[in-house]
Structure 1
Amino acid sequence: MPTSSASTTDSAKPAASGGVQSLERAFDLLERMADAGGEVGLSELSATSGLPLPTIHRLMRTLVACGYVRQQPNRRYALGPRLIRLGESASRLLGTWARPYLARLVDETGETANMALLDGDEIVYVAQVPSRHSMRMFTEVGRRVLPHSTGVGKALLAHTPEDEVRALLARTGMPAATEKTITTADGFLAALSDVRQLGYAMDDNEQEIGVRCVAVSVPDSPTAAAISISGPAGRVTESVTERIVPVLQQVAAELSHALTNPGPAA
């Protein structure tokens, strides 16, 4: 089988999707690097991707030349700094795309709607549509908080392996924002178990006294994302929560579909 000639024409091969195979492979390698923590060796990439080492080496060399990957002194490869600008721009666009869905949440629930991402060990809010009530919650877009005291944090970490959650909490600490904040790893893991059972997460006066937040993750999102509504505890009651949760889940499913189904090719 003429593997050597196939490898030399790899960049010209059409992908099964009708695109360019080498581009698909390069992006797949970047995502595998991110899944591995941002730094990998060629043999690891070959084992997980199934691609031959010469193909991976050629793709990585191109990514290094473009600044999207850098080679470390130990010969391993790490995600490069040029990805930061792309990521920041993509996060802003993600918030823009989400706004119509958040606006629907406000229309149907009457409360402020938010979208947040897990960025490293922190939660970052990327979009918000405020409630029309005079008394409403306001979270600045771009604000960063620790996951343990937020509904979106619980929603985003609910299906993360326990050892990874414990490691994250050990790195961030668990400072008390209020007297109701969960401040132990065991307590937080118990809360995550509740999220998995119920299908939604709650922040009950844990980030700010007098405020309740109900959150769900966006299923199959290209990056870990969650949406939520937040409002005064007197309005976001148990009975109101029962009504809000199906709306949140439906909007999250529709947003997921929009994010994972690209528009028609040019």
Structure 2
Amino acid sequence: MEARVSLKEIRTDKASKDKTSYKPVGAVISGLSILRYLGNRNTPVGVSQIARDVGINASTCYNILKTFLAEEVVSFNSETKRYALGLGLLDLAQPIISANNDLQLIQPRMKQVATEFTIMVSLWRRTDNEQMSLLAKADSDAAVRIHLSPGQRLSMWLGAMGRCMLAYSDLTESEFRSRFETLRWGEVPNFRKFMREARDVRTLGYAMDENSQVKGVTTLAVPVFQEEQDQPQLCLVATMFSGQHTVDEIGRLVTAMKDVSDVASRMTFK
């Protein structure tokens, strides 16, 4: 029987987002409806049938298709007067395709480390509002293990990851203190010690957090730099139960995590 310890509760007091109402743009909705319709068709379709099946005005449909054609999002056969999806969609989708390919390449390496050390290994990307978003994770096969939810977001200042991000931040000490005091900790760490450990990241290449992010949980983080970045946008994190590993094992884990980080630094995840 599998038991999981969830880290879902780890967030800042400001982590929840306001749900802002908005007014849908009709032309955008119609355009997306046309693309979905063409994507579900096995053969090209004329403008009249598209307008009828999608349920929009024929003139509007024609103008949207002409715009899409100019952008190569759809293709047009001048002999049959019919439309189909265009190769321009591949250009739009390529960043997502590349990101998925990169994730498929990095996850086996993450899984190898997770299995060898019976931990969870996760890759996080910086987003807006000083948060980190879970990009990928690999679990061990242990019956009791720590769990993270897909797409989960955390403050970029929490735990070992927070120390790594702070190490390369432009924030002054007083600016960071104001953020530090709003974070929701398992055990509030000593501020001076936290700052010192953040500075050490530049020398050591990693950071550790024991119990302050969540009681009973230790995290080890390694920053991931890409394309001569001065500040990392990615961070690789190992999450384990406190006291689970010896000092020698932690040393081997640091080496393994840095190896994965080196591989990830050559990928885009865009």
For residues 90 and 182 of structure 1, the distance between their equivalents in structure 2, rounded to whole angstroms, comes to: 41
Matched, 1:182 2:189: yes
User: In the superposition, relative to structure 1, how do residues 182 and 123 fare at CA in structure 2: closer, same or farther (>3 Å)?
Assistant: farther
Matched, 1:197 2:203: yes
Task: Tell me the residue number matched to 1:227.
Answer: 236
For residues 217 and 124 of structure 2, the distance between their equivalents in structure 1, rounded to whole angstroms, comes to: 17
User: In the superposition, relative to structure 1, how do residues 175 and 132 fare at CA in structure 2: closer, same or farther (>3 Å)?
Assistant: same
Secondary structure at the residue paired with 2:212?
coil
Task: Tell me the residue number matched to 2:222.
Answer: 216
For residues 169 and 102 of structure 1, the distance between their equivalents in structure 2, rounded to whole angstroms, comes to: 33
When normalised by structure 2's length, the TM-score is 0.55
Does the aligned pair in 2 maintain the 1:147–1:153 contact within 8 Å?
yes
- Per-residue deviation at 1:254? 1.4
Letter in 2 for 1:206: S
- Per-residue deviation at 1:218? 1.3
Consecutive unaligned residues of structure 2, counting only runs of 5 or more, are: 1-70, 72-91
Structure with the higher fraction of residues in helix conformation: 1
For residues 135 and 173 of structure 1, the distance between their equivalents in structure 2, rounded to whole angstroms, comes to: 32
User: In the superposition, relative to structure 1, how do residues 174 and 242 fare at CA in structure 2: closer, same or farther (>3 Å)?
Assistant: farther
- Per-residue CA shift, 1:80-100, capped at 9, x if unaligned? xxxxx99x9589736555322
Matched, 1:100 2:108: yes
- Per-residue CA shift, 1:102-124, capped at 9, x if unaligned? 11222332311101112131122
Does the aligned pair in 2 maintain the 1:123–1:153 contact within 8 Å?
no
When normalised by structure 1's length, the TM-score is 0.55
Task: Tell me the residue number matched to 1:152.
Answer: 161
Matched residue count: 174
- Per-residue CA shift, 1:8-34, capped at 9, x if unaligned? xxxxxxxxxxxxxxxxxxxxxxxxxxx
Consecutive unaligned residues of structure 1, counting only runs of 5 or more, are: 1-65, 67-84
More RCO (CA 8 Å, sep 6+): 2
Q: Which has the larger radius of gyration?
A: 2
For residues 104 and 153 of structure 2, the distance between their equivalents in structure 1, rounded to whole angstroms, comes to: 18
Task: Tell me the residue number matched to 1:112.
Answer: 120
Does the aligned pair in 1 maintain the 2:157–2:166 contact within 8 Å?
no
For residues 126 and 166 of structure 1, the distance between their equivalents in structure 2, rounded to whole angstroms, comes to: 30
